[in-house]
Structure 1
Amino acid sequence: MILWTSAEVEQALDVFGLPAFQASGVSIDSRTLQKGDIFIALTGQTDGHAYVQAASDKGAVAAIVSKANPACKLPQVLVPDTQKALEQLGQFARKRAVHLAAIAVTGSSGKTSTKEMLATTLKAHKSVASYNNHFGVPLTLARTPADAQYGIYEVGMNHAGEIAPLSKQIQPYVAVITNVGTAHLGNLGSLENILSEKLSIEDGLVKGGYLVVPHDLITAGVREDITVKRFGGVKGDARVTEVLPQGDGWKVWAHVEGHDVVFDVHHPGVHQVTNALAALLAASLAGADVAESAMRLSRAEAVVGRGNVHHLPGGVTLIDDSYNANPHSMRAALETLIRRPANRRIAVLGDMLELGEHSIAYHRALADACMGVDTVITVGTHSKALQDALPDSQKGGHFNKQEDVRLSLQGGDTLLVKGSNGIGLSKLVARLTQLQNGTHKHAV
């Protein structure tokens, strides 16, 4: 597939005289670059200009740079600012995709899972992994095919004022807020500020578009030229009528925009049923058939690190929720663990980052959510407050680093691993899943 031509790059960046080329992709990372990509040399924690030759060696067709590399024979597009060039490519791609129904997804938790459900439901172009910031959003836009019917774009934030500019780049027809919780409280100061930031996703919504929110979210003051739709509760535009456990997930009966549907959710957390409702409602508003969407949704698998289940040798069940954590998602994960039948329920819980001065209090407050867990092990710095707040019968020990954690697992155990990504608990999960693959014979 031809994604970009040199003529289109000239138009997007307002340059001329480029040698003729055709590109099948866009990359900002020489390690994952594919043959046929355009490489954009961004300057961040590392300087992409140091990897232009590596990109050429891997088969890039051109590089966009702010500093030319005369020794490299790869065609180089010289621009004043490569970040700005990335955004220009994204905006050009968005404008040329004239039939695109763009869906933007934000929220304190559940963004990536909801995005993946939507992508499966709509067979849509989507953000890769959690590409949801000032690099990831324009990159995902720049990768959008001109003939795309649907595009799913994840929008994240760490500080105030970040969501609205990204939404304006996307120009969504449907914007989804999965929930509003205390993630990034340390940077935004209050739940009210977090709500205001999440609602600013409306700034990019096209006139006549839809804002999809939880049934109980306060939306006073939103634009009059958009329509608010709600999921969950007893009166939501998308709501559950019945839900039953099924294997490692759920069978769900729901009412979505006047249609009764049945679908499966392959995720142990009942909170993912709510994310599925949001996805089905957004898909319906974007023009998809609800019944067909529900059928496709039943094929969606749990996202790695966000609650996917591993069955380890000896009858041990591992719930991998190691990618991220905040007070809302931590409680949901603990509820998932407590609901599951098990001989012993064990939780390895890492720090919840970016809670600022509230961090110790929020970690300590999780002690009540751990009732029903047999053993709680904590990892990091602030999570020691949780360990200290637990009754002696639940204390499994505190470790400063994930590599120091030692587990003795027995048949019938169910183990939850969850923490902010910066704590690195995915490495603990990797060691445990070596057991599943038969490459490790002993308890970790």
Structure 2
Amino acid sequence: MDEFPVVVVGAGPAGLAAAAHLLERGLRPLVLEAGAQAGAAVAQWHHVRLFSPWSELVDPAARRLLEAAGWSAPEADRHPTGAEWAAGYLVPLAGALGGHVRLGTRVVGVARRGRDRVVDAGRDGEPLTVHVATADGEERITARAVVDASGTWTSPNPLGGDGLPAVGERAAADRITYRVPDLAVEAERYAGRRIAIAGSGHSALTALVALADLAERHPGTHVTWLLRRGRVGNAFGGGEADQLPARGALGLRARAAVRAGHVEVVTGFRTATVEREDGRVVLVSQDGHRLDPVDEVVALTGFRPDHSWLSEVRLELDPVLGAPVRLAPLIDPNAHSCGSVQPHGANELRQPEPGVYLVGMKSYGRAPTFLALTGYEQVRSVVAEIAGDHEGAARVELVLPETGVCGGSGVFDAPTGGQSGGCCAPAPASAPASVAVLTLSAPPAR
């Protein structure tokens, strides 16, 4: 099958890095990107600053390719925004890859040539076929292997607390966003309004800090932070102990915003219903607790992978996370933090369908806190395996920064050893036992 290219789905950080490694191995990559530019998903969160510095955001093989084309690396210790990462690295990298990258090409299916998922006979001797849709129509591309680096950006988790959209959530879509607001262009939408933020991850903290700053500048802006977990616990992250200082600083700023009174915290709240009321929306929890009406809802409850277009290839995925079964135990947020993720590569990412690999954010399924370094090491190993360098594929080395907030939604019910800084008032008598409205205050003078 050497005559066929290795198709890489997605021109994001992991996909473009895979293409760079394939070229170094003398293999022919073909990167298929649905968007109009490389890093199309990154460009959509252009206003958000990354936790990782430039030194951890450039793949080694990609760096060698770029430098050969005259590229100058940005300052290693600076933290870029999404826009800077896309413009300063991803777009130039796609340019260096030239005709190996096709934009405006959406993958709609992958199969074994002439065989559906059920057929065994003659399967091993056939290449893969990649079905794509473009502005000019449909096309089939024959491939020796498929590296799925399409990510999860297009599949945000819903606001509903059971993993499905809450009743009325779709009907209130004009009042709900699933992305961190860009207040440089959307300030009027939120200034002086009542806003609810749902979620406990880094995106939620980023939005919380931004909207709290807006509330300080625009009186009348009210921010309510909704947590499904029963207490704040470690939601503010590792703080000064975080090995990614920018990530730790974000948690400290979020804690300060709550203590300053710019944010009301409601714990134990799992949205069941979204109701319209006089142009606003009312969120109702599964146990009937109704919040005061809000003008806008920012739902930042994570992402999930879309496997629908892989339905005709044989996949072996974890039933909980939707990640490759060999990888899932290593990244399960119920048991692991970022720093305890073991080295992994082709062996953990391979599928029963030969030549099919899930890499990057998509490989983590619903597990949170994926880092670019993880994706770069994944694709290095996978490309070595495709090239027949099994020893190189097995030689996986990965060290990730430790943090106190790598748990995702799967651990929000877990008991915590104590409050994370400050002191919390007990739940008001009028609130259900499972819902607590908290106010964090500064520690008393000593």
Instruction: Calculate the TM-score normalised by the size of structure 1.
Output: 0.27
Bigger RCO (CA 8 Å, 6+ sep) = 2
